[in-house]
Homo-oligomer: A and B are copies of this chain.
Amino acid sequence: MAVIGASGRAGSMGQAPVRYLRDNGYGGDILPVNPRAEEVLGYRCYPSVADCPGPVDLALVMVGADHVPGVIEECAAKNVGFAVVLASGFAESGAEGERRQRELIGLAEAGGLRLIGPNCIGLVNPHFNLVAGFSPLFAKAEWRPGEIGLVSQSGALGYGIVSLALDRGLRFSRVLNTGNEAAFSSLEAVRDLLLDDVTRVVLVYSEGLQKADEWPALARLALQRDKPIVMLKVGRSEVGSRAAASHTAALAGDDEVLSAVCRQLGIVRVDDVDHLLDVAATLRQPRRPKGNRVGILTTSGGAGVMAADACADFGLEVAVLGDDTRAQLQEIVPWFGSVLNPVDVTAQVIADRELFRRCIGLMAADPGVDLLLCSVCVLTGDSALRVVEDVLQTAAETDKPVLFSKTGADSLAPEARPSLLAAGIPVFETSVQAVRAIAALVHFQRVRDGSGTGEHTAAAGEPPAGFPAPGESLSERVAKEILGQHGLPVTREGLAESAEAAVALAADIGYPVALKIESPDILHKTEVGGVTLDLHGPDDVATAYGDVVASVRALVPGARISGVLVQEQVSGGVEMLIGVVPSEFGPMITVGAGGVLVEVLRDTAMRLVPVDRQEAEAMVSELRSMALLRGVRGRGPADLDALVSLIVSVSELAASAAGEWELDLNPVVVLGAGEGARVVDALLTGRASP
């Protein structure tokens, strides 16, 4: 490994990385490179990387931005594997920096060199005692090989996370700061970790995802390899994302889309560092629960109640214990405790040396328990050691995940944490934190168990015939004509250019009908008297035709009028919406409450396409408007089957029709059971290039 720009000056930033390598016992050759030095910390110094003896796997490039291009060319010539570029002054710093970064990418690509950074602070691989880079942490940290991988766009925050993790007794397989991600993005870094043999869970700190369209496949790989990805993606808010953009020169994606994609693909999304570490401690162990039923064993009623509350908050079930288990617990739990889950053995565990061991064994053996949370409070000395021993033994005898929370300072029982961690048992300060981490574990496993999560790849090529060009919006009539051709249940309708034609069309369609003005110049038809609803006979239609045209002519004098749309009038039913928008990850489908409730309810479910019937049903069940679909206040239930079929059809269209287009079906009226659903209004727009 070469350290380019190493310095012999004691205490300098150029000397530190060589010291870190030495002090951590790096096994390979350490090759300082500096034309003005003879040696650094006793290692012979070379004038350039070209002069280094033998092959160079990794070059740590510590020179200023101006010198980086030359060094990269030299590294490429030397066939260096990876070059880690620490210098700032690239894309994060304006137009000139962006130019410099493009130049750098070109040089690395031409030379077949994998380039990490620039604007990063390096990487650590404890399995090779490799500490390559510069952080105040490197002077202090003790690295031991572990199974947690961390990929962080930010150097300072990344190593801040690491320092808190080490403090909790967690260990890493690799830590990598990707910086500007010029040529090597979080995506590639995560993929490497998913494919290695030591990493069990991958943590990602991101300020903006590159190559978003490849993340769905990456998430599938994580499911296949049973290695969860846990993501702390910041810049969620408007101010936050502005700050993130100025910080990393990366475009903040649409946050809501990212959350939906994570939920769907089993990526665990977290909002804070402590949550990230709690989840990491839980997912680094290989056990996976069969379900979401939590058994809670506590020495303090209060901690148990808090765990039960948290289960409700996070959508987990407090397991119902079997009659057998309860009966056996009844015999040993003190009368002032509780044998209903949460099982409260009380502080009696201090006096009764068998109590905890027997209870935890019974709970672990209960088939109604999928995971076991042991929640103790301020145990010290012998009783703490005994409880820990009981937990370790039970964990060794069951294949269910076992977690431990302690609501008490580590200093009360200093041996507890390390011995539990060594056995893969996560340790939490509070039972609520434990339950939150269980929710992440259950979520990951549920997605993994789920249907074969098909390929989520956007169709390539040109949009199908009739689809709008970028920036173009199709009229309601034309949009619905196309949708009808793709098999969607649109309202029966036709364009009339005279009152007589309208009456004839109405007779074909069947009464009642609605009339709507058709004009490329009018977006909001209602506001200009361009819509008349609920017409029951030919006279009404003829009169309404004249009224609609007259009103529009009067209020929008110059408007081009193509005619009047005569449309099947759909009455009753529940108004929903179905939409498709392109996203960085691929086309997303949305289902929600429609009509006037859109802004009020903001009640939507979103997925990457395609979705099958089961997933479509799951989307509808997530909605609060499900109550409307089930029928409220004497209204019967709506035709859920028809809604689900329509979602699947729209999803198929979105998955197969290439191009960046948006579809907005609103309202979709879902009629009574067996009566189907109708697309009453539709907007199909080609997204203008940014």
A159 to B377, CA, bound (A): 8
Please measure, in the bound complex, the distance between the C-alpha atom of A301 and the C-alpha atom of B92, giving whole angstroms: 12
Q: Does A410 contact B (CB under 8 A)?
A: yes
Residue contact A272 to B600, C-beta cutoff 8 Å: no
In the complex, are the beta carbons of B412 and A378 less than 8 A apart?
Answer: no
Are A246 and B137 closer than 8 Å at their CB atoms? no
Complex A-B: 22 CB contacts under 8 Å: A136-B350, A137-B380, A140-B380, A155-B300, A156-B299, A156-B377, A157-B306, A157-B377, A157-B407, A159-B377, A160-B406, A163-B378, A167-B410, A234-B309, A239-B318, A242-B340, A271-B309, A271-B432, A272-B310, A273-B432, A596-B632, A596-B633
Known pairs A247-B302, A300-B160, A432-B273; A236 contacts B378 (CB<8 A):
no
Contact A407 to B309, CB < 8 A, known contacts A271-B432, A381-B136, A527-B634: no
Q: A158 to chain B: which residues have CB within 8 Å?
A: 302
**Pairwise interchain contact A312-B236, C-beta atoms closer than 8 A:** yes
List the B side residues contacting A305 at CB < 8 Å: 207, 234-235, 240-241, 243-244, 247
CB distance from A9 to the nearest CB of B (A): 15
* B308 and A408 contacting across the interface, CB-CB below 8 Å: no
Contact for A207 among B273, B301, B527, B600, CB less than 8 A: B301
Closest B residue to A276 by CB, please name it: B430
Q: B240 contacts A312, CB within 8 Å?
A: yes
**Residues of chain B contacted by A313 (CB below 8 angstroms):** 236-237, 271
Closest 9 CB pairs of A and B: A237-B312, A247-B301, A157-B302, A156-B300, A160-B407, A154-B302, A167-B409, A240-B309, A240-B308
A559 at the binding interface (Cβ < 8 Å)? no
Shortest Cβ gap from A509 to chain B (Å) = 25
Q: Does chain B have a CB within 8 A of A624?
A: yes
Report Cα–Cα, A205/B310, bound state, in Å: 16
List 11 additional A-B contacts (Cβ < 8 Å) besides A160-B377, A234-B302, A246-B340. A88-B336, A136-B379, A136-B380, A140-B411, A157-B301, A160-B300, A160-B406, A163-B409, A164-B408, A166-B409, A242-B340
Say yes or no: is A329 at the interface (Cβ < 8 Å to chain B): no
Query: Digit string of A157-184 for contact with B (CB within 8 Å is 1, else 0)?
Result: 1111101101100000000000000000
Contact in complex: B634, A526 (CB < 8 Å): yes
Residue A217 interfacial (CB < 8 Å) = no
Q: Does A601 reach chain B (CB closer than 8 Å)? A: yes
Judge whether B600 and A137 touch: CB under 8 Å. no
Cβ of A469 under 8 Å from chain B: no
Does A625 sit at the interface, judged by CB under 8 A?
A: yes
CB distance from A179 to the nearest CB of B (A): 12
Q: How far is the CA of A160 from the CA of B344 in the complex (A)?
A: 16
User: A579 near B: Cβ within 8 Å?
Assistant: no
Chain B residues whose CB sits within 8 angstroms of the CB of A274 once the complex forms: 274, 429-430, 433
Looking at A166, A234, A274, A302, which has the most chain B CB atoms within 10 Å of its CB? A302
CB contacts (< 8 Å) of A324 on chain B: these are: none
Q: Which of B157, B242, B336 contacts A303 (CB 8 A)?
A: B157
**In the complex, chain B residues whose CB is within 8 Å of the CB of A246:** 301, 338, 340
Given the interface pairs A140-B380, A407-B273, the reply to whether A248 lies near B312 with Cβ below 8 Å is no
- Measured between alpha carbons, how far is A156 from B137 in the docked complex, in Å? 37
| A235 CB contacts on chain B under 8 angstroms | 305, 309
Evaluate contact between B342 and A243: CB separation under 8 angstroms. Answer: yes
Question: Is A602 close to B, CB under 8 A?
Answer: yes
Measured between C-beta atoms, what is the minimum distance from A438 to chain B in Å?
14
A455 within 8 A of B: no
B-side contacts of A299, CB under 8 Å: 156
Given A136-B412, A378-B136, A408-B160, also A273-B430 (CB < 8 A): yes
A164–B429 touching, CB < 8 Å: yes
Shortest CB distance A591–B (Å): 15
On chain B, the residues within 8 Å of A248 by CB distance are: 301
Q: Does A89 contact B (CB under 8 A)?
A: yes
